[in-house]
Structure 1
């Protein structure tokens, strides 16, 4: 049985379109408050329709529910403030039980924080309304490996996926601002939530070619997960979105000639490319990301340690309007 666990921190610099991406995913709860305010006098929050905002937040959640190395961790700065407007992080992995019982299991859990700013106006005066949104999402998957070669190095892997996510508000400051501006209590701003579930699946081609002189991993995957709000979500912010990602991942490992813990130390070369479709496409100003990585791998299998290999990889990430550097850590079991 083998398994892999990957995580990384990937700061990206957005060169343009940051305002478009952030406002497209703007906080639907603040706009819902405007909806309830109706035609009464006073300040009102302005922006796109509530339904569009709800769908935008779900599209952003799509980056968290799809297992994907390229977007597993993003930190995008707001060009106006140089502070992170979006932070995403994902921890996940998958494994096949054995060659004789090729049941495949995977899982991931992700966290993101989104900091949009809205404007309240009465027609003559405008005030900024800062908001904070925290998202937690998890995805599980179950599949089966169908060998395409006699040695079972190349397999076709269909996977069924299910996801669950929650967006909750952290609006103590914004709530006070809006109350002073509109001179009324806005209950939905205080602890507003959006709950969503996702159902879908993936198809994958996986090639694992392991020799003493080198090791090659190659994965091609297409994932499609449909997200739908449910439960305690307000009626005015119910929405849907489709998370679709196609990605290719390749890794080369070979001995460096050095030894540690009675095993050879390997160097690692990686490349991955992810293309985003559906509601994810362009929501953050890009529709694809590419990573190039290099690092070292320590083999601990000669000793009684829970993990068998530990890797540290430095990656350069780039795509439409974004670029950055990350340090990723991974472990095999």
Structure 2
């Protein structure tokens, strides 16, 4: 079972000023932004190493305007009972700035849109080879999420006469659910001298809002991703720790975004190259059997960066 986790934080806020007349949102409306936030949620509901941790700075302020992190994993119960289970939880934050005007005066309204989501999946492994190292895995996925808006820094504006869209921005929320599935080819080749894992996966989950505090603002998106993941693990010289060989790890992941999330952040693909170390704890009575730390270089069209990932096997 692989677990992925990375957390990033912080943004800059600016204050808004009061006015006497009713303020209304100008330019891009909240409805379009709601669809945009749903597209960002589409990154989070798909178990995907490449987009499991993203932090993108605002070009003008240099502060993080978009932030995403994900913790997830999956496993097959056994080769004799090949039921596959997976799950992931994710958090993301999007910091758009709206402009409100009463006809004579305009004010910027900085906001925080926080998204929490969870995805579960259940599948079955159909072996394609006699040794059952290569399997075909169809998966059913279901997701649930919430988008909430925090306008505390703009209270001076929203406590005045405002239209419905600003009312939604002031601590409004949307709930979302998603249904869909995935198909995967998974090759697991484990030998004493090395381990090889290769996964080829296509995921399609449709997200739709429901309920929430503002019935007039809704959103929808399609999370559609094709992903290739490969990992090589082998003993590092004769190093030993915890009565087991220390292993080095090499990783490759490439994700192609085909749904609503494609190009919403300026790119439609991400690639990661990673290297790290793994400790085998199976000789001792502990909950996990392996612990890995991997440094990754992430790049795509218009983006690049580094991340540190921690993972565990059970």
Q: TM-score, normalised by structure 1?
A: 0.86
Deviations 1:208-248 (A, max 9, x none): 00111111000000000000111235232122211100000
Query: How many angstroms apart in 1 are the aligned matches of 2:91 and 2:127?
Result: 35
Deviations 1:285-308 (A, max 9, x none): 111000000000000000101000
Counterpart in the other structure of 2:4? 6
Counterpart in the other structure of 1:103? 83
Counterpart in the other structure of 1:163? 143
Deviations 1:22-66 (A, max 9, x none): xxxxxxxxxxxxxxxxxx964421123444222211111101111
Gaps of 5+ in 2: 10-19
Q: How many residues align?
A: 303
User: Which structure would you say has the larger RCO, counting Cα contacts within 8 Å and 6 or more residues apart?
Assistant: 1
Alignment of 1:275-290 (within 5 A): 275-290=256-271
Query: How many angstroms apart in 2 are the aligned matches of 1:51 and 1:118?
Result: 12
Alignment of 1:302-313 (within 5 A): 302-313=283-294
SS in 1 for 2:285: coil
2:158–2:170 contact (8 Å) kept in structure 1: no
Counterpart in the other structure of 2:208? 228
1:175–1:186 contact (8 Å) kept in structure 2: no
Alignment of 1:9-88 (within 5 A): 42-88=22-68
SS in 1 for 2:39: helix
Query: How many angstroms apart in 2 are the aligned matches of 1:242 and 1:221?
Result: 16
1:10–1:326 contact (8 Å) kept in structure 2: no
Query: Cα offset for 1:172?
Result: 1.2
Deviates more, 1:75-84 or 1:156-165: 75-84
Gaps of 5+ in 1: 12-39
Query: How many angstroms apart in 2 are the aligned matches of 1:10 and 1:287?
Result: 22
2:43–2:223 contact (8 Å) kept in structure 1: yes
Alignment of 1:312-323 (within 5 A): 312-323=293-304
Deviates more, 1:41-50 or 1:128-137: 41-50
Assess, with a 3 A threshold, how the Cα gap between structure 1 residues 91 and 126 changes in structure 2: closer, same or farther. same
Query: How many angstroms apart in 1 are the aligned matches of 2:250 and 2:163?
Result: 59
Counterpart in the other structure of 1:176? 156
Counterpart in the other structure of 1:35? none
Q: CA RMSD in A?
A: 2.1
Query: Cα offset for 1:133?
Result: 1.3
Of residues 172, 177, 182 in structure 2, which corresponds to 1:192? Answer: 172
Counterpart in the other structure of 1:121? 101
SS in 2 for 1:58: helix
Counterpart in the other structure of 1:270? 251
Counterpart in the other structure of 1:29? none
1:250–1:271 contact (8 Å) kept in structure 2: yes
Q: TM-score, normalised by structure 2?
A: 0.91
Counterpart in the other structure of 1:328? 309
Assess, with a 3 A threshold, how the Cα gap between structure 1 residues 212 and 183 changes in structure 2: closer, same or farther. closer
Counterpart in the other structure of 2:196? 216
Query: How many angstroms apart in 2 are the aligned matches of 1:122 and 1:65?
Result: 39
Counterpart in the other structure of 1:205? 185
2:25–2:166 contact (8 Å) kept in structure 1: no
1:195–1:233 contact (8 Å) kept in structure 2: no
SS in 2 for 1:188: helix
Query: How many angstroms apart in 2 are the aligned matches of 1:203 and 1:233?
Result: 36
